[in-house]
Structure 1
Amino acid sequence: MPPPARSWTRLAATLADTVPGILLAIMFLCFILQVFMRYVMGSPVGWTVEVCVIAWLWVILWGQSVSAREEDEIRFDIVYGAVSPRVRRVFRVIFATALVAIYAIAIPANWDFVTFMKIQDTAYFDIPFSWVFSILMVFLVVSILRYAWIGWSALTGRGVPSGEAGPHEATRKDFTE
């Protein structure tokens, strides 16, 4: 990849990783404001709860689909770490294929849900719930693309995640340290 493309990719990744951080900061500020208004001013405000719920939904779905890296995911390390790299690649292909299929099958029903929710708005900001739940579609589409790439990389033998050297492998670096 040429250097300008790498810098744009790095910038896009940084911006994608910033979204959950900003949303968590907003949630924290709304929480502090809610505590202050309730216990100091004696006049609680309800919109802070709405902001926190929407931000949390977006943090979870955005974070898992866009910001999380493969090495951040939870694995059954007892089994995964005990098998050879070739079997790990097979595991990655199987699970990536299964997730792509499950998410693809889920798209129509979730699309129906998201578009149906345009009939109702949030209580305080009057935002259509279809906008609030639109992150679900982003999650599904990005996850399908992501796991298709992971499966393809495993199938073709490229893109082995860092830290993949298991107990059966010794790297040159291990012998030089």
Structure 2
Amino acid sequence: MPTATAAAHWLRRRADNVVVALLATMFTTFILQIFFRYVIDQPLGWSEEVIVTVWLWTVLWGAAFVIGESEEIRFDIVYSNISEGWRRIFTVITGLVLIIVYGISLPAAYSYVSFMKVERSAYLHIPINVLYAVYIIFAVASIVRYGFLVLRAVKGTASPQTNPSELRD
């Protein structure tokens, strides 16, 4: 029977695979766009739509599932130079604020994404709700992630290190 840690590791690798596929798609489309525009002199209209959509998915998917806590953006000058107790307090405050903000935005975002099923993208005719659904995934994953961080901080678990000289693999 696989452990929860093994399952989490497997899921993390699959999330990494999704980002790799998205980046490969974006890069390939970009190279095709250059080739068709400058070599064949036949610009591809759909390529920009693919690149922008894949970039949006890459950023939000990566932020939700790939970026580790130690890689998050913080005010490192302050955060790295305060005591562990204050780090946990900052983690609880920022975690609760983000949970509230994402929680408040989620119903409106879901309503908007659901409504956009009537619109289609200009070139590929993909329903817009499919293109923007990644925000809903991102918001839910962020709420869960920050919920765990707040619980860990309240229990007294050490905060993630952000000082590059202190990071361990």
| Closer/same/farther in 2, CA of residues 138 and 75 from structure 1, 3 Å limit | same
Q: Structure 1 CA distance, aligned partners of 2:87 and 2:17? A: 31
Matched-pair contact (CA < 8 Å) for 2:64–2:142 = yes
Match of 2:64 in 1: 65
Change (3 A) 1:111 1:35: same
RMSD: 1.9
Residue type of the alignment partner of 2:149: I
Larger Rg: 1
- Name 1:85's counterpart in structure 2: 84
Shift of 1:162: 4.4
Partner of 1:144: 143
**% identical aligned pairs:** 41
Runs of at least 5 residues in structure 1 that lack an aligned partner in the other structure: 167-173
How far off is 1:74 after superposition?
Answer: 1.0
Question: Cα offset for 1:6?
Answer: 2.9
> Quick one: which amino acid aligns to residue 19 of structure 1?
V
The within-5 A match list for 1:1-177 is: 4-158=3-157, 160-162=159-161
Aligned length in residues: 165
Unaligned runs of 5+ in 2: none
Indicate conservation of the 8 Å contact 2:106/2:136, yes or no: yes
Residue deviations 1:90-137 (CA, integer Å, cap 9, x gap): 000110011000100001111121012111101222110011111110
In 2, distance between residues paired with 1:126 and 1:104? 31
Task: Using the TM superposition, give the Cα deviation of residue 159 of structure 1 relative to its aligned residue in structure 2, in angstroms.
Answer: 5.3
Contact 2:84-2:158 within 8 A present in 1 as well: no
Supply the distance in 2 between the matched residues of 1:58 and 1:3 (Cα, whole angstroms). Answer: 30
Secondary structure in structure 1 of the residue aligned to 2:11: helix
Deviation at 1:163, TM superposition (A): 5.6
CA distance in 1, matches of 2:162, 2:68: 13
Deviation at 1:158, TM superposition (A): 2.3
Note closer, same or farther for the CA distance 1:116–1:3 as it changes in structure 2 (3 Å cut): closer
Provide the C-alpha distance between the structure 2 equivalents of 1:33 and 1:163, rounded to a whole number of angstroms. Answer: 39
Note the C-alpha offset of 1:85.
0.6
Is the 8 Å Cα contact of residues 95 and 147 (structure 2) preserved in structure 1?
yes
With normalisation by structure 2, the TM-score equals 0.91
Aligned to 1:169: none
